[in-house]
């Protein structure tokens, strides 16, 4: 897998205290002989990727970074004074940040109670988006749909840049979104994707019982520098976690889900069985699997 070339993030210091804090890091780097992020990383003992996300306003600065920056730049407590404002702010525009992180991730792991957006057919995606925003204008739904479909390009590339591991709740393959014909096409899409060498699909069966993520979804995004970002989402809210201790807990949650899920081979067999039920329903005049 080819390494991803590093590109400086576009800065938007006017957006929030966190973004301003990050822009000040770049400003002082440039004032100090255009110091590179690599050089700064070796001084403050944080990874280049982590500093890049802090500089871009994506990640919250850790408590001990400000003192190290003030020492590196000789800024007499400047970053120490900015830190309380930057640390108090919650992640702004979380979904945009999640997509930016996902676009460069080298390993994308995800658990969902529905079909993951990266695996949805056009028909299922349009119905899911409309159901989630029933009062949105058609133009808005169309824009979101275009964005969702474009995000799938990276997964489908001939030269994969990442590995993907999806765990789907059994309800995701049984809920008849759009009716039997639409779901039959969706399940065939799951089977096709599961055969790709860089994609693994598992189903978490109802028989597994209760688990930690029954209320929503969980994603783990491994960045090119090896750091992992966690993202949890409910039906209306999402939260990004980059603190190593918080991420460690969510890694443990995901590993438990992986252990509870059916094996990839058995998962494909489950999907094939439900696909047959939907195809039978189409032949019988459209009765859904839920009505069987």
Kindly report, residue by residue over 247-289, the tens digit of the pLDDT: 999 999 999 999 999 999 999 999 999 999 999 999 988 555 5
Rg (CA), the chain: 22
Q: Give yes or no: residues 172 and 64 share one domain.
A: no
Q: Give yes or no: residues 64 and 140 share one domain.
A: no
Residue 3 lies in a domain: no
Residue 10 lies in a domain: no
Q: Give yes or no: residues 133 and 228 share one domain.
A: yes
Answer with the one of 33, 56, 88 that is the final residue of a domain.
88
pLDDT tens sequence across 55-100: 988 778 888 999 999 999 999 999 999 999 888 765 456 677 788 8
Answer with the one of 88, 116, 139 that is the final residue of a domain.
88
173 pLDDT higher than 90:
yes
Counting the structural domains of the chain, the total is 2
Q: Give yes or no: residues 100 and 146 share one domain.
A: yes
Among residues 214, 201, 219, which one has the least CA distance to residue 99?
219
The SS3 call for residue 63 is coil
For 107, the domain range is 94-291
pLDDT tens sequence across 192-245: 999 999 999 999 999 998 988 887 899 999 999 888 999 998 766 778 888 889
Answer with the one of 88, 119, 145 that is the final residue of a domain.
88
Residue 128 lies in a domain: yes
Q: Give yes or no: residues 100 and 226 share one domain.
A: yes
Between strands 107-112 and 163-169, the pairing is parallel
Alpha helices in the chain (DSSP H): 17-31, 37-44, 48-55, 65-73, 78-88, 94-104, 122-132, 138-151, 170-174, 180-194, 244-260, 264-283
């Amino acid at each position: 897998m080819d390494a991803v070339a590093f590109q400086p993030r576009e800065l938007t210091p006017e957006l929030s205290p966190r973004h301003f804090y990050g822009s000040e890091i770049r400003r002082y780097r440039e004032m100090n002989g255009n110091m590179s992020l690599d050089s700064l990383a070796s001084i403050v003992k944080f990874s280049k990727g982590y500093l890049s996300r802090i500089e871009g306003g994506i990640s919250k600065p850790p408590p001990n970074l400000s003192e190290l920056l003030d020492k590196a730049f000789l800024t007499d407590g400047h970053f120490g004074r900015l830190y309380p404002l930057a640390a108090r702010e919650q992640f702004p525009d979380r979904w945009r940040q999640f997509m930016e992180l996902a676009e460069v991730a080298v390993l994308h792991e995800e658990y969902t109670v529905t079909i993951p957006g990266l695996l949805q057919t056009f028909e299922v995606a349009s119905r899911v988006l409309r159901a989630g925003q029933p009062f949105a204008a058609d133009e808005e739904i169309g824009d979101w749909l275009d964005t969702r479909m474009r995000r799938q390009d990276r997964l489908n590339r001939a030269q994969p840049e990442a590995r993907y591991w999806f765990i789907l709740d059994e309800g995701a393959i049984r809920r008849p979104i759009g009716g039997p014909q639409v779901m039959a096409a969706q399940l065939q899409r799951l089977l096709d994707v599961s055969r790709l060498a860089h994609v693994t699909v598992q189903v978490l069966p109802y028989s597994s019982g209760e688990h930690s993520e029954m209320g929503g979804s969980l994603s783990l995004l491994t960045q090119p520098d090896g750091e992992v970002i966690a993202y949890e989402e409910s039906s209306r809210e999402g939260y990004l976690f980059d603190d190593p201790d918080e991420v460690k807990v969510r890694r443990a949650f995901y590993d438990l889900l992986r252990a509870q899920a059916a094996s990839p081979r058995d998962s494909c067999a489950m999907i094939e069985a439900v696909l047959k039920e939907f195809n039978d329903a189409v032949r019988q005049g459209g009765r859904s699997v839920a009505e069987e």
